[in-house]
Structure 1
Amino acid sequence: MLFGCHLSIREGYLGAAKAAQRMNASAYQYFPKNPRSLTVKNFNQEDAKLCRDFCEEHGIFSIAHTPYPTSLTPQPEKRDITIKSLLNDLEIANAYGSAGVVVHFGSPIRSSDPLAGYQLMIEMLNKVLSQWNEPCLILLENTAGQPGTMGTTIEELVQVRSLCDYPDKIGFCLDTCHAYASDLLNGDNLEHFLQKGENLNYFEHLIAIHFNNSKYPAGSGKDRHANIFNRGHITEKQFDELVKAEPFKKLPFILETPSDEGIKHSDEVALLIKKWG
């Protein structure tokens, strides 16, 4: 099984890959550029090749995550810059050999028209992907809102993908904290979740897991990540059932947990490998 965590590119993209290798991680995630900016970034193609070759040599899987301001339902004045930024993220991630770029599901834009947010999402995805023809995928991530909030169900994720003009360029990333916060997974409904995911072909396009515990109970709607083995409401037994479920056995589990609450990421990855690796 593949375990890893989100890593900084402060020492460069190759530096992040080497950091993953030093902690015996077989997967990692990174921000392709400043996480607080939509500015288009130039990058070094030679460094990209070195990083890609290093990951291939050591069997390390990677994904990128779009900067925080990225939204698939942006205000009109931010739509062009968001499209350019997303294409830049895809270009960087593809050059460094990453499987995909995680993008948060959109949010409502008009309370009077619940479908408007979905329509804008599909429009934005089509505009980006009409200009993209490389292997790196956009990975739609489930939302952590209250049950019924936009982006909290498998049906929505699958339907948005299927309604896009380029579904083969879209995959999914499942965040366990978000799923718990939205009641998509609540600790008691794993079999129902697995059956629904299979019926809707969700797992066929699931590329990675954001492996996070939750600081709040199921259905709280609160996106507060906790470490896997302490201070969280998802129990070790519930995680054990999830990790061992058939659709997840060969997927990368990537931590986005706190690194300053009693355990470092390197130690947490070591615990995951010891228990499930």
Structure 2
Amino acid sequence: MIYGSHVSIRNGYLGAAKQAVANGASAFQYFPKNPRSLSIKDFDHEDAKNCNEFCQNHQLQSIAHTPYSTSLTPSEDKQDLTIASLLNDLQIANACGSIGVVVHYGSQISLTDPLASYHLMLAMLNGVLSQWDGNCLILLENNAGTKGALGTTFEELVQIRNLCEYPDKIGFCLDTCHAFASGLWTGKNSGELLEKGESLGYFAELKAIHLNNSKYPTGSKKDRHANIFHTNGLIQAHQIKELITSPVFKGIPLVLETPDDEGLSHREEIEMLKQKWGE
């Protein structure tokens, strides 16, 4: 079991990796730059290199997450900026030795043309990946279904990857809270979910898991994360365990995006995961 959490880069990329180790983690996630901006970052290459070497020496895996404002279905005036920003994220994450950069699946942009969003997503992905030759992947994350968001089914996620001109440069990141909120996973249909994911080839390209509980019920389409073992989490611990201990998830990093200011730190939560479900 490879446990980790999101960490800050306030002390640089190497500092983030060191914080992950201090948390008892064997994986971590970070924002490669300001999480509230698409601006291009002239990053510290030496710091990124040191982070990469540190992670190799400590058998530490990492993923990056695009800024909040990143969208694969942006307005026309932000398309070029979004492509440049995603390339910048990939460059930073690649220098840090990360598996990939997580980006949310797109949202509905037309009430009259249901395919418009998918066409734009493909254009955006092709625009980025045609310029990218690094090892770092784009990791498409499933959505919770909020505000007309697409990407709540395995079929959508797999099909976009298949239709992209560069499928080998795309992987997936499964968010357990989003899956629960969208109704993809109810907590009681893990067997069915695993069978579908395997049959569609989704799990073959799964590179990371956002390990989150949910504050709202399944099918609510509300994206509010809760701690794994907290009483306000509506996914029962044994349901989460049943899913993530499946053999198809072996060796895939489980990264917490849970609250660390509601009475439980990520360090404590990682220790609880190890004690309850094994290292």
TM band (smaller chain): over 0.9
Aligned equivalent of 1:263:
264
Question: What is the TM-score with the length of structure 2 in the denominator?
Answer: 0.98
Q: More displaced, 119-128 or 264-273? A: 264-273
Q: Provide the rounded CA distance (Å) in 2 between the counterparts of 1:86 and 1:210.
A: 20
Q: Provide the rounded CA distance (Å) in 1 between the counterparts of 2:7 and 2:131.
A: 29
User: What displacement does 1:239 show?
Assistant: 1.1
RMSD: 1.1
Q: Provide the rounded CA distance (Å) in 2 between the counterparts of 1:191 and 1:148.
A: 27
Aligned equivalent of 2:189:
189
What are the equivalent positions in structure 2 for 1:47-62 lying under 5 Å apart? 47-62=47-62
Aligned equivalent of 1:117:
117
User: What displacement does 1:262 show?
Assistant: 1.1
Aligned equivalent of 1:249:
250
Q: Provide the rounded CA distance (Å) in 2 between the counterparts of 1:98 and 1:28.
A: 10
Q: Provide the rounded CA distance (Å) in 2 between the counterparts of 1:35 and 1:243.
A: 28
Q: Is the contact between residue 154 and residue 197 of structure 1 (CA under 8 Å) also seen in structure 2? A: yes
Q: Provide the rounded CA distance (Å) in 1 between the counterparts of 2:149 and 2:96.
A: 34
Q: Deviations over 1:223-277 (max 9, x none)?
A: 0000000110000110110121111121110000011111011101111111222
Q: Provide the rounded CA distance (Å) in 1 between the counterparts of 2:210 and 2:130.
A: 27
Q: Provide the rounded CA distance (Å) in 1 between the counterparts of 2:9 and 2:112.
A: 42
Q: Deviations over 1:32-58 (max 9, x none)?
A: 000000000011221111110000000
Aligned equivalent of 1:235:
236
Question: What is the TM-score with the length of structure 1 in the denominator?
Answer: 0.98
Q: Is the contact between residue 122 and residue 163 of structure 2 (CA under 8 Å) also seen in structure 1? A: yes
Q: Provide the rounded CA distance (Å) in 1 between the counterparts of 2:178 and 2:172.
A: 13
Counterpart residue type for residue 189 of structure 1: N
Q: Provide the rounded CA distance (Å) in 1 between the counterparts of 2:257 and 2:18.
A: 18
What are the equivalent positions in structure 2 for 1:96-245 lying under 5 Å apart? 96-145=96-145, 150-230=150-230, 231-245=232-246
SS in structure 1 at match of 2:271: helix
Q: Provide the rounded CA distance (Å) in 1 between the counterparts of 2:235 and 2:18.
A: 31
SS in structure 2 at match of 1:134: coil
Unpaired segments of 5 or more residues in structure 1? none
Q: Is the contact between residue 30 and residue 65 of structure 1 (CA under 8 Å) also seen in structure 2? A: yes
SS in structure 1 at match of 2:46: helix
User: What displacement does 1:164 show?
Assistant: 0.2
Q: Is the contact between residue 5 and residue 255 of structure 1 (CA under 8 Å) also seen in structure 2? A: yes
Q: Segments of 4+ in structure 1 off by > 3 A?
A: 146-149
